[in-house]
Amino acid sequence: MLGGPESQGRSRFRRRQSPQGTDGNPGVGYFEQPIDHHNPSLGTFKMRYSWSNKFWKGHGSPIVLFLPSETNPAPFVDWYGNYSSIEFYFSQEQSTYNLGAAYILLENRYYGESSPYSELTTANLKYLTFDQAMRDTVNFAQNAKLPFAANSTASDVPWVLTSGSYSGVIAIDIATKLPGTFWAYWVTGAAVQEQEDFWRQSDSFLKTGPKNCTKDEIDALKASFGLQDLTHNDDFVNQLSQNPELRYSMQFDFLTAPDVMNSYMCCDAIEGVWDPVTRNYTHSKLPGVEGVGVEKVLENWTKWMKYYQLPGFCASFGEKYYPGLYSKNSTYCDESYDPNNPFYTDMSVGNPWNRQYLWLSCNEPFSARTASAPKGVTTLISRLLNVEYGYHMCDMLFPKGPHGEAYGLRTADEFNEYWGGWNIGNTSRLLLVNGEYDYWRSATVAAENRPEGPLKSTEQLPTWIVPGGYHCSDSLYYRNGRLNEGVRKVIHEILAQLEAWVKEWPGKNDSSSTS
């Protein structure tokens, strides 16, 4: 698969959206946003938001605004609510309970019901930028007329902005470029230092993955075996690279039965203790760190690909989006050189490839692109996967528009220089959290390869590294906090700090200029 999948739910339960948000079922509203904040004459579009005042203590009480990730946020609404009498699935919801605040989830532009255009052409995507997204959030906080409370803008009451990953970068941008609207910020897993060749993404797996597996994968990548229907070698190794990449979505409950997820299951299959055909464990004892040898690994890895990863891989998209296009063992969704591939031709807002995220990764560029390590450095990713391969896909995804519109607003260096990258500017009340084993840690302020080392904690900019944590582990209070004391401790410290800061709110600010 060439692009990111839709957000996938685990342990989901359906909740209705209604005009009222008083019973735990979030209400829904719409807010008019300019298509271009720098040229309001271009018109507006409706931005969707969900809200609940279940724990709101009335006039003057805080607002917690949650920016979801780069996806349709429906699953976040589905997950809303108690998982015990006083514990919640998302830590952001936990903060509303602790603070006596109202909860608002603001959909990102170009996702779900909040897109100014129905067709995501190069010309129409011009207004999907970090600057526009930043201004959307500030504009909403300053001007939204909330259905449950008059006079509750960010000038009237303390607003806390919480977000992670892509939206975490937006929150940091707001804190440093447009301070004064939000009273406090809680940001997790924000990849702020953009890197065109993000070869350090495998550092976490090399350090913490099963040692027998990592040794054998490195050896096996030196050999060759094929997915015969893929005509280009770089497409072939792109498919293989998704085995190490499985680690990006790890969380603590992925290590508990029956939730052992693909990152470990893949390694168990490669080591010959889990059978991809029967879907059962065949041995109770794992090989040692020496592995099982390249010949056995190639045999087992091929079985994993043929009987587990490949069957239905492309077809899973076809069933919903392109009926009849993909057979069970089709590899067509990985053909990056075919301009007729729906990966390139599907320009709908609800496309399964997350075309919007791909635009961000090509245009500014965001999302540290997966690539191999330099020569002389251990790599889990084939050296056929390089910057040129990524831009080959950008060229095919986003050809020039009718008036010369094109991707490439900034280079990675220009992005880092403009937004600050690893160097967070002067700001106040900004909480920064990262996981020790986050797939993207090398692009965050907690990066060990940051010139000054991981960003040090200060009174106004406290930082945490979740011990043993993954990407945005602190966001999942009930899911991770009940399993890992380290992440639970971090979450409690964060919530306590937010409570202390909210108590410092000086009162109504007519100019929204507090910082």
Q: Does the 27-193+421-503 domain belong in CATH 3.30.460.80?
A: no
Residue labelled with tokens 């009237």: 156
Provide the pLDDT for residue 14: 30
Supply the pLDDT for residue 211.
63
Q: Which of 184, 178, 155, 146 is nearest to 510 (CA)?
A: 155
- The answer to whether 103 touches 51, Cβ cutoff 8 Å, is yes
List CB contacts of 89: < 8 A, sequence separation 6 or more: 79, 80, 81, 83, 476, 477, 478, 479
Tell me what pLDDT residue 476 has: 76
Q: What is the mean pLDDT of each run of 10 residues along the chain (515 residues)?
A: 34 34 70 98 97 91 92 67 60 89 95 97 98 99 94 97 96 97 97 83 66 56 44 62 53 52 73 88 79 80 83 82 89 91 96 95 78 71 77 95 96 94 94 93 94 96 94 81 88 96 86 44
Angle at which helix 355-363 crosses helix 387-397, to 10 degrees, equals: 120
Could you give the CA distance from residue 171 to residue 429 in angstroms, rounded to a whole number?
12
pLDDT value at residue 479: 72
Q: Which pTM value belongs to this model? A: 0.85
CA 69 to the chain's CA centroid: 5
Query: Domain coordinates of the chain in residue numbers?
Result: 27-193+421-503, 199-397
